[in-house]
Every structure is written in C-alpha cells, then in structure tokens.
Amino acid sequence: GDVGAGEQVFSANCAACHAGGQNVIMPEKTLQKDALTQYLSGGMKEASVVTQVTNGKNAMPAFGGRLSDEDISNVASYVIDQAQGDKW
C-alpha cells in the first residue's frame, strides 16, 4: 500500500484512539513494534493489520464497509512502516 495515502487515512479514522501510535482505550496495546509483536493477532505484518481494521476487535470498531480495501491496505502499510522504523 501507499504509506503517504495511509497517513491521511490514519489521521481521519484512527488518530482519535491512536494518536502518536498510542491507544487511549487499552494503553498497553499501542501501535509500536513491541506491542504489535506481542498482541496483534497474526504478528506484526500488514496482513494482520488489514484483518484487525476490517473486522475490528473488542472495543475497536470494524472498518470493513466504511473504508475501501485500498484505504485499509494503505493505512496498514503506514502503521507497519511507523512501527518497523520506530517512528512512534
């Protein structure tokens, strides 16, 4: 996916709960490398982020049907790029 386009999707749809890669509802479940490795179902990879964003999990809403597959792919690329590079 397109990391730059994903950043826009993130700002509009994710930052309310995940500003700066944090998590205002479940503070330990950040979007940083260590947390994604430990908690994200399927491990720290784009496909795992796509699955969670599409389907939601617990208090996180599902975005399937609200965001296009392209937007979800792009935001997953952005999240993994940020985590992999320790950018948040």
Using CB under 6 A as the binding rule, whether residue 40 contacts ligand HEM is answered as: yes
Using CB under 6 A as the binding rule, whether residue 50 contacts ligand HEM is answered as: no
Using CB under 6 A as the binding rule, whether residue 52 contacts ligand HEM is answered as: yes
Q: At residue 8, what are phi and psi to the nearest 5 degrees? A: -65, -40
Q: Are 27 and 36 in contact (CB under 8 A)?
A: no
Please tell me the distance from the alpha carbon of residue 8 to that of residue 4, in angstroms, as a whole number.
7
Give the one residue of 4, 42, 43, 61 binding ligand HEM; rule: CB under 6 A: 61
Interface size with ligand HEM, residues (CB under 6 A): 26
Please tell me the distance from the alpha carbon of residue 18 to that of residue 7, in angstroms, as a whole number.
12
Using CB under 6 A as the binding rule, whether residue 30 contacts ligand HEM is answered as: yes
- Residue among 52 and 73 whose Cβ is closer to ligand HEM: 52
Q: Identify the residue whose tokens are 């784009």.
A: 46
